[in-house]
Amino acid sequence: MKQAAENKKTKSYVGLGSNLGNRLGNIRFALAAMGQMPGSSVLRMSAVYETEPVGNADQPKFLNAAVELETSLDPAVLLKSLQRIEHHMGRVRQVKWEPRVIDLDILFFGSQVIDTPELKVPHPELSLRGFVLVPLCDLIPEFEDPASRQKVKVLLKKLPRSQKDIIKLETANF
């Protein structure tokens, strides 16, 4: 019975963002690296969107996307694995809202609500960010956020228009 529990896979959703270097190449590299994580496979990816930076407007525009990931990793191990990918790609965390080669955030982990000092899921700012909700709506518009109990598409509709004005890029298949 223990073996079955260890092999249980959870659908998770990860937000990707990049505004330094080859932004699309960075997203593709991170996507490939996520597919190589033990016990994990990438099921689908949203379109890629170009978005204005949040917090510190004096930096390049971002490319953002969301990925549906099936994983047998527990949330803390998934977080560490994503941080290893960020580190491998050259991300250095110094200040909030700084430019970055890659940013990988766990948006949802199944229907779990997680609140630890290291990890908060659903992502605490998810409902305020068009650059997160628009790509999520590509994948799971009907999914109910376990924290707010509202569907992703409803959260998106509640945002001011300025948060939804992002540019969808025509991209090759991933």
- C-beta of residue 84 within 8 angstroms of C-beta of residue 97: no
Q: Could you confirm whether 165 is annotated as catalytic?
A: no
**Is-cis flag, bond preceding 117, omega within 30?**
no
Q: Is the pLDDT of residue 50 over 60?
A: yes
Q: Could you confirm whether 91 is annotated as catalytic?
A: yes
- CA–centroid distance for 59 within its chain: 20
Q: Is the pLDDT of residue 170 over 80?
A: no
The mean pLDDT of the chain is 89
Question: 23, 28, 100, 129: which is the annotated catalytic residue?
Answer: 100
Amino acid at 48: V
Topology of the domain comprising 2-168: Alpha-Beta Plaits (3.30.70)
Q: Could you confirm whether 100 is annotated as catalytic?
A: yes
Q: Is the pLDDT of residue 122 over 60?
A: yes
Question: 23, 105, 138, 145: which is the annotated catalytic residue?
Answer: 105
Q: Could you confirm whether 138 is annotated as catalytic?
A: no
Question: 28, 103, 129, 138: which is the annotated catalytic residue?
Answer: 103
Q: How many CB atoms lie within 10 A of CB 107?
A: 22
pLDDT, tens digit, 9 for 90 and up, residues 4-31:
445 799 999 999 999 999 999 999 999 9
Question: 23, 28, 91, 129: which is the annotated catalytic residue?
Answer: 91
Domain-by-domain residue ranges, the chain? Answer: 2-168
Q: What is the pTM of this model?
A: 0.90
